[in-house]
Amino acid sequence: MNETLPAAAARTPIVEFRNVSKTFNPGTTREFTAITDVSFRIDDTPGRGEFIAIIGPSGCGKSTILNLIQGFSDVAPATTGEVLVRGVPVAGPGRDRGMIFQRYSSFPNRTVLGNVTFGLELNRSQLGLDRSAMDDLAMTWIRQVGLAGHEHKYPHQLSGGQQQRVAIARSLVLKPQILLMDEPFSALDEPTRHDMQRLVTELWHDVEATVFLVTHSIAEAVYLGDRVWVMTRAPGRIAVTFDDIIPPTRDSDPLEVQESPSFKTAVAEVGAAFARIDRGAEPDGRA
């Protein structure tokens, strides 16, 4: 069953799904329903932001949820239901929402500096920034993601971890209210993945964004998430929500946290729920 919507609050939720379903290629032999009857409400957390980690079987619609929030035209609008950001129906992408993909998404013909200034250039009239101010702001984020000295390199000259740092800086330079991360670290080796997890938690303080992370790693979901959703097989829906058992991890080293008893207990419980749901069993009533 879906996560129960709380009573109406005075503050407008930052993201809300109301009985959302999405069917691709309707009326054709390729018709496929990715998600069905998904409802949730994420309230803004001033001065903090919330991190929602989403796990589930392959093809269960995890990325579809992110793409509907972003408003990409090849996915949005929803087939049924409403997708709202700060109470307004999503009509398309906006700079209030940043997205980081699994595949390295830098522009190959732009340097690191040029990639990070790209969004600023697109929005320069609204931001009121000249060339010098855009470069200065981009360099601030390039330093924050640990790429100082690499700003004039091109993507092919960077490692995979460095390319994801570029993608993170390019998204965060616009200070999005919502950050959408679609398996951003899955292609990285384990040490680099831990470094990136540590970096994301550190930068989270600066942007105070609401973050949605899609991952296939239960340990990563428990480490990064304030809340972990487990989805059913397609057509996907939110079967179970975990929040009370998730240990606090902010300002904590991922290797140290992941060796703690509370972390291992949470991973085991989330993993057991995932296994039950993956077998098609009914959720245990936590959601």
In tens, the pLDDT along 49-105 reads: 889 999 999 999 999 999 999 999 999 999 999 999 999 999 999 989 999 987 667
More confident residue, 185 or 18: 18
Instruction: Please state the pTM of the whole predicted model.
Output: 0.89
**SS3 (DSSP) at 265:** helix
Rg (CA), the chain: 19
Confidence tier at 281 by pLDDT (50, 70, 90): low
Return the pLDDT at 9. 45
Task: Give the mean pLDDT of 111-136.
Answer: 94
Q: Say yes or no to pLDDT of 218 above 60.
A: yes
Return the pLDDT at 180. 95
More confident residue, 30 or 106: 30
| Closest listed residue to residue 227, CA positions, set 60, 55, 97 | 55
Half-sphere exposure of 249 (CA within 13 A, CB side): 33
Instruction: Locate 54 and state its tokens.
Output: 């989403």
pLDDT (tens digit, 9 = 90+) per residue, 125-169? 899 999 999 999 999 999 999 999 999 999 999 998 899 999 999
CATH number for the domain running over 15-96+176-278: 3.40.50.300
pLDDT (tens digit, 9 = 90+) per residue, 227-262? 999 999 999 999 999 998 988 876 677 788 888 999
Q: How far apart are CA 64 and CA 80, in angstroms?
A: 14
* Cβ-Cβ contacts under 8 Å for 272 (sequence gap 6 or more): none
Q: Say yes or no to pLDDT of 6 above 70.
A: no
Q: Say yes or no to pLDDT of 47 above 90.
A: no
CATH 3.40.50.300 residue ranges of the chain are 15-96+176-278
pLDDT (tens digit, 9 = 90+) per residue, 259-268? 899 999 999 9
Q: Say yes or no to pLDDT of 7 above 50.
A: no
Longest dimension (CA), the chain: 58
Return the pLDDT at 255. 80
Instruction: Locate 249 and state its tokens.
Output: 């991890």
Q: Say yes or no to pLDDT of 10 above 60.
A: no
Does residue 123 contact residue 133 with C-beta atoms inside 8 Å? no
> Could you give the percent of the chain with pLDDT greater than 90?
68
